[in-house]
């Protein structure tokens, strides 16, 4: 535990620090609110021991500022010679977590610090679990790719990064050809197996690039290619088409080929999309063009150029 002691009295500060260090913890002293706020900016603090009666700004006011400035919870224990119930209640209302009266006994202070340490560790563990749950909520369980929620978050971040970097962001919409016929004839379990296999192929095709892939819904996928010109996106699209065909996943009921194939629509920020939604719409329009042109090919937005 890294502990910050806030007290305008140098003597009291050194006394509390001696108790803390003797109990096996680290501590640093801040003489008043200005020094306390500076130390919080520059250091990682796990616990604050806050004196209440200080000039310029008392401990209650400083605690309110800390709580509004730092969203991450850190325990604050008030130290005061005033043992009235009113003061205790005021301290808790201000954002404090505990209250000790001076003179503080070392055994009590050490016990309070250990208690706050346990709470802090439990909170850290809970934060980790919540983070894992948040990540899982962005993953499609069938394909292990980003789901629609994860895609939306990823694309919004890439759009912002692209504006800052003044680079070109390319986008691909992919749709497995004649997938309804696959499901209708092979069954939905085989259809799920096919989606998982195709997803793995798409993912591996992006191994040597900075592309990010997600399942947009059903048999549709999105691939984002940050800092990638549209010419490179076209090359990657053709590579994906070829790799999927090379896998020779049987599809006897396809109207295109006896194997599973994919159609791809490509858009890029160079085509004037005002936002990420417009970029997706452009890629979707290009995908429609590729599907209309006998499938198993890519099409580029605002261009009749296709490749079979």
For residue 110, give the CATH number of its domain: 3.40.50.2300
Q: What is the mean pLDDT of each run of 10 residues along the chain (308 residues)?
A: 89 90 89 90 89 90 91 88 86 89 89 87 74 74 90 89 86 96 94 95 84 91 92 93 96 95 95 90 95 94 55
Q: Is 261 found in the same domain as 152? A: yes
Q: Is 302 found in the same domain as 155? A: yes
Q: CB pairs under 8 A, 24+ apart, for 285-292?
A: 286/173, 287/173, 287/174, 287/175, 287/263, 289/265, 290/263, 290/264, 290/265, 291/175, 291/177, 291/263
195 is a domain residue: yes
DSSP β-bridge partners for residue 5: 29, 49
- Among 135, 167, 186, the domain-final residue is 135
Q: Is 278 found in the same domain as 155? A: yes
Q: Is 201 found in the same domain as 131? A: no
The model's pLDDT over 98-127, given as tens digits with 9 standing for 90+, comes to 999 888 888 999 998 988 888 888 877 777
CA distance 50 to 28: 12
pLDDT of residue 208: 67
DSSP code of 189? H
65 is a domain residue: yes
pTM: 0.61
Q: Is 193 found in the same domain as 49? A: no
**Beta-carbon contacts of residue 48 (< 8 Å; ≥ 6 apart):** 3, 4, 5, 6, 36, 66, 74, 75, 76, 77
Domain, as residue range, for 216: 148-307
The model's pLDDT over 240-260, given as tens digits with 9 standing for 90+, comes to 999 999 999 999 999 999 999
CA distance 291 to 308: 11
pLDDT of residue 292: 93
258 is a domain residue: yes
pLDDT of residue 134: 66
């Amino acid at each position: 535990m890294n502990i910050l002691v806030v007290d305008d009295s140098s003597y009291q500060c050194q006394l509390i620090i001696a108790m803390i260090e003797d109990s096996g913890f680290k501590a640093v002293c801040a003489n008043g609110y200005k020094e306390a706020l500076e130390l919080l900016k520059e250091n990682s603090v796990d616990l604050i021991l806050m004196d209440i009666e200080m000039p310029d700004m008392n401990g209650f006011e400083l605690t309110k500022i800390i709580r509004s400035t730092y969203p991450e919870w850190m325990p604050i224990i008030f130290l005061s010679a005033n043992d009235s119930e009113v003061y205790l209640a005021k301290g808790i209302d201000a954002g404090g977590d505990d209250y000790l009266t001076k003179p503080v006994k070392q055994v009590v202070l050490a016990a309070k610090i250990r208690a706050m340490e346990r709470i802090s560790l439990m909170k850290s563990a809970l934060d980790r679990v919540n983070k894992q749950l948040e990540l899982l909520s962005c993953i499609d369980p069938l394909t292990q790719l980003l789901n629609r929620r994860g895609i939306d978050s990823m694309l919004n971040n890439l759009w912002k990064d692209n504006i800052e970097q003044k680079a070109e962001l390319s986008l691909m919409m992919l749709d497995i050809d004649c997938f309804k016929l696959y499901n209708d004839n092979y069954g939905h379990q085989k259809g799920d197996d096919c989606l998982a296999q195709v997803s793995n192929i798409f993912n591996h095709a992006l191994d040597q690039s900075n592309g990010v892939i997600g399942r947009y819904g059903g048999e549709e996928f999105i691939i984002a290619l940050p800092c990638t010109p549209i010419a490179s996106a076209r090359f990657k699209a053709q590579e994906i088409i070829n790799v999927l065909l090379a896998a020779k996943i049987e599809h006897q009921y396809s109207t295109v080929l006896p194997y599973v194939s994919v159609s791809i629509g490509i858009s890029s920020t160079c085509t004037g999309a005002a936002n990420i939604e417009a970029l997706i719409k452009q890629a979707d329009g290009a995908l429609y063009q590729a599907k209309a042109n006998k499938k198993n090919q890519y099409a580029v937005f605002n261009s009749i150029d296709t490749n079979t």
